[in-house]
Amino acid sequence: MQLFVTLGAQRYRIQRPWGDLPPGPGRVSDVAVDRHGLIYVMLRADCYADAPAPTVIVLDPSGSRLDAWGESVADGHMLATAPDGTVHVVDRDAHEIVRFGPDGLKLGGVGRRHHAGEPFNSPCDLCFAPDGTMFVADGYAASRIHRFRPDGTPDGGWGEPGRGPGQFSVPHAVWMNAAGEVAVLDRDRDRMQVFTAEGVFLHEITDLYQPLDVVSDAAGNWWVTDRTPRLSVFSREGTLLGRGRAVLNAAHGMALHPDGSVLLAEMNPSRLTRLVPV
């Protein structure tokens, strides 16, 4: 038996579980795609209870496993690929963004590891501008978006606790679209706020329930997962273009692949789901 979902004018076939992921205690927390179409899957484990194991699994576009690495990650939450091909992992409760080569070689990091507030305090997510500028959603014990120059130099940011524009409870995900606008999912406020790259508030989308992840397509449309669970597609301005239920519970992470498929990271049950255009 097969299941399908329709998002706007496009119908998709649901494939789950998808991809050659190893068994073990790690749960699928996020997924990212690099410029070559390689897929990086984040596995979150408990460093106190689980034996050391790879936390980043590399798949080819067919789902075959190519590599596995990242045993040094303590609490992987989200990950993203940079324009230069490096892979950046949010090591949440280690308070660090760890930078790896695509082969898994650790190249460095941003944030003082195991020192909260220097500058991160259990961060959630990150994204990149085309020039390599990095935005970090510092969301579990802070309410701030940090901006870094391509060389890793701090370059300001915005955000504070609250309910108003530019204020956050849990900024759980961040993404820049093709127009250079930055979306921030304020999970516990049930909304997405959209800003300029300098942090100027543009507008918000509130037709969401505990949103978890956001990405954008070539047209600049926003793709958002939430805990309803739903996958919603909004225009840049916030018009709902399509909506569907593609997972059993909720997709904690998401990526759009160049082949037109949609990859969804499910934690419960732990698996990768793939939506294939038909």
CATH of the domain at 36: 2.120.10.30
pLDDT at 136 over 90: yes
Q: How far is CA 122 from CA 110, 140, 142, 144, in A?
A: 13, 5, 8, 11
For residue 232, what are the domain limits? 3-277
Decide: helix, strand or coil at residue 209.
coil
Residue 182 DSSP label: E
pLDDT attached to residue 99: 98
pLDDT tens per residue across span 222-253: 999 999 999 999 999 999 999 999 999 999 99
Structure tokens that stand for 158 in this block: 């915005």
**What is the total count of domains within the chain?**
1
What pLDDT digit, counting tens, does each position of 52-94 carry? 999 999 999 999 999 999 999 999 999 999 999 999 999 999 9
d(CA 24, CA 21): 9
pLDDT at 24: 86
Return the amino acid letter for 43.
L
pLDDT mean across residues, the chain: 97
Residue percentage of the chain with pLDDT more than 70:
100
